[in-house]
Chain A
């Protein structure tokens, strides 16, 4: 169906695509609605050589993730992340896979993918989150790839801190910090053209886990987003502020 169309797009919850089409920012020739595919829904526990993961079907809606017992029990940070997306109507309809495939620079889930060592499963391959986000709205997915599910590695502990744009609900900046046996991971969204890992912050936290350990770490603003809402410099500042908040939040959980 995809190959036969001129400029087709896959439609999931449509919470970005349909508003974009209404504003004439997107004009696909054909829409292929995936929402009837049962195989792309649901949440399950998976064990692999890498450890325990929670597999979330691409078409699972944000509110269903937030209310899922397995998520609340083993990966509460994911419930925290999806509960902060948009508003209730958007969370009732928007899907995990749709948000990830779209890779909006201010979307919340990309920070979770990077922080939670996720693996993105398509119909024929597995892509580690570290190789997934390429640039503004650009990912490792080809136009005809279908995102099937995402495996989030269960961390020892994790939290998400977000500076929320009050009008849109998007992250001006969002920082997710997770601890694994192998060390800390820091996923950042909102700051750059796409989500990224803040390796300098990770190194500092691996040496000493305290908000103070981040004091002397430089977060350069080169290439950061700068717009009506926040300058690149301000976003770089927010990365550090939110990372410190995340560290102090995590310190209280132990």
Chain B
């Protein structure tokens, strides 16, 4: 089946099998391997991307469902020389150890930061329930999301 959507601002038209998951297209067809697959059960959230401005698990969306959609992956958020405030916060707060879950964590955290008015620790913990980490123990992740959200607010306030 033919499917067309934009990924990180660039238009793509691809020919995919109808049962292809969006995450497979991103990783295997487009080489965007920053989006990870950490489970088979749609629980871990490592594959979280933004589809039409919402954080979704790209392992639970068929590629054809993204027709005409606007996809943003971790590669579209910042670059090595110019990190997104949320990426910088995860680095500064040591919100990761192995880093496998981090792309999904960051995409989800950006969704929360842009949508939730008061992002206190409880709201962060509840908001990040769909993302599992098996090494850091979460305290630093919560701190990273809080700092990243504050930095994002400051940046958007300035511009």
Contact = CB atoms under 8 A, between A and B. Distances in A.
Interface in B44-62: 45, 48, 54-57, 59-62
Interface range for A: 20 to 34
Q: Which of A14, A33, A89 has the most CB of B within 10 A?
A: A89
B41 interface: yes
B45 A23 contact: no
Interface string A1-38: 00000000001001100110111000000010101000
Contacts of B56: 89, 92-93
B65 A89 contact: no
A169 interface: yes
A90 B18 CA distance: 22
A88 interface: yes
Interface in B8-23: 18-19, 21
B61 A88 contact: no
Interface residues of B, number: 27
B41 A89 contact: no
Contact of A88 (B19, B21, B108): B108
Contacts of A22: 21, 40-42, 59-60
B62 A89 contact: no
Q: Which of B21, B41, B60, B62 has the most CB of A within 10 A?
A: B60
Contacts of B127: 88
B57 A89 contact: yes
Contacts of B130: 86-90
A19 B41 contact: yes
Interface string A58-97: 0000010000000000000000000000111110110000
A92 B59 CA distance: 14
Looking at chain B's contact residues, the main secondary structure is mixed
Contact of A87 (B19, B45, B64): B45
A90 B106 CA distance: 17
Contacts of A23: 40-41
B42 A19 contact: yes
A227 B135 CA distance: 30
Contacts of B21: 18, 22
Interface in B87-117: 108, 111-112
Nearest to A169: B129
Contacts of A167: 43
B26 to A, nearest CB: 15
A89 B61 contact: no
Contacts of B62: 14, 18, 31
A33 B48 CA distance: 21
Given A87-B45, A88-B55, A93 B40 contact: no
B48 A89 contact: yes
Interface of A: 11, 14-15, 18-19, 21-23, 31, 33, 35, 63, 86-90, 92-93, 167-169
The 10 nearest A-B residue pairs measured at CB: A87-B130, A19-B42, A92-B54, A87-B129, A89-B130, A18-B60, A89-B57, A93-B56, A89-B55, A88-B127
22 contacts: A14-B61, A18-B21, A19-B60, A22-B40, A22-B60, A31-B62, A33-B64, A33-B65, A63-B54, A86-B130, A87-B129, A87-B130, A88-B55, A88-B112, A88-B127, A88-B128, A88-B130, A90-B130, A92-B55, A92-B56, A93-B54, A167-B43
Given A22-B59, A92-B56, 16 more contacts: A11-B65, A14-B62, A15-B42, A15-B60, A18-B21, A19-B42, A22-B40, A33-B64, A87-B129, A87-B130, A88-B111, A89-B45, A89-B48, A89-B108, A90-B57, A168-B43
